[in-house]
Amino acid sequence: MVKFKRTLFATCLLGLAPMINGCAATVQTGEQQDLVDRSTLTVQELVNSTQSQDLVNSLRSARAVMICPRVFKAGFVIGGSGGPCVLMARAAGGSWSAPAFYTIGSGSFGAQIGIQDAEVMIMIMNDHALAAVMQNHFKLGGDASLAFATVGAGVGGATTTALHADIVSFARTRGLYAGISIEGSVLSPDTQSNVGYYGQPYSTSQIVVTMMANNAGANPLRQTLSRFGG
């Protein structure tokens, strides 16, 4: 009788395992889908901001784009910033890849106090810059072979430096800091989120270059980039 109960209990556990795993996958996918949806809103909001023409011109020429819906910065003498991002690359026909998940983070030390959050889009203008960004722990502005430039919200026209840069960042900020600089920030791939969203351990290159991954939940973001970025 005891043996029968144990067998029945084990059978029940085996039956519940797929349901439990399915729930866990749904939760994780839901978190990543929320980031993808917020990235869509970020593209729309930044395009409609005062810097829109510079951003649209850069997006139309970009090889890839990193979208960070909320980069949060806080500090009292010692500060830091960070947030989740998605990386997407342009296909030969002008469409966009599915998103690969990333994080951005940095630390700083100096006379500072305040809290701020920012929406950030990082335009990656050529294959050389994209290859560098896809390396683990890429530091913005840390590669001497790549020109990096920032165009802040409210700037009427892109500078000559920005027009010829390999990587150009656009940010719209809110909060007590006067502005936000992402130069020196580190971009790191979020492999766990890629697995959660696609169900397979695709590499960044497989997602954005060879475009092996697909999730219908990213279609609105891809369509938004195609509409504004050509």
Please state, as a whole number, how many other Cβ atoms lie within 10 Å of the Cβ of residue 95: 12
Q: Is the pLDDT of residue 21 over 50?
A: no
Characterize the bridge pairing of strands 100-124 and 64-89: antiparallel
The domain segmentation of the chain, as residue ranges, is 62-219
Q: What is the mean pLDDT of residues 83-108?
A: 89
Task: Write the pLDDT tens digit of every residue in 125-179.
Answer: 999 999 999 988 898 888 888 888 887 644 444 444 456 789 998 888 765 544 5
Q: What is the pLDDT of residue 160?
A: 44
Task: Write the pLDDT tens digit of every residue in 22-78.
Answer: 433 334 578 999 999 999 999 998 888 755 577 888 899 999 999 999 886 655 444
Q: What is the pLDDT of residue 12?
A: 40
The sign one gets for the Cα dihedral 207, 191, 129, 125 is positive
8 A C-beta contact, residue 180 and residue 135: no
Spatial distance between the Cα atoms of 93 and 114, rounded to a whole number of angstroms = 44
Q: What is the pLDDT of residue 3?
A: 45
Q: Is the pLDDT of residue 220 over 80?
A: yes
Spatial distance between the Cα atoms of 79 and 71, rounded to a whole number of angstroms = 13
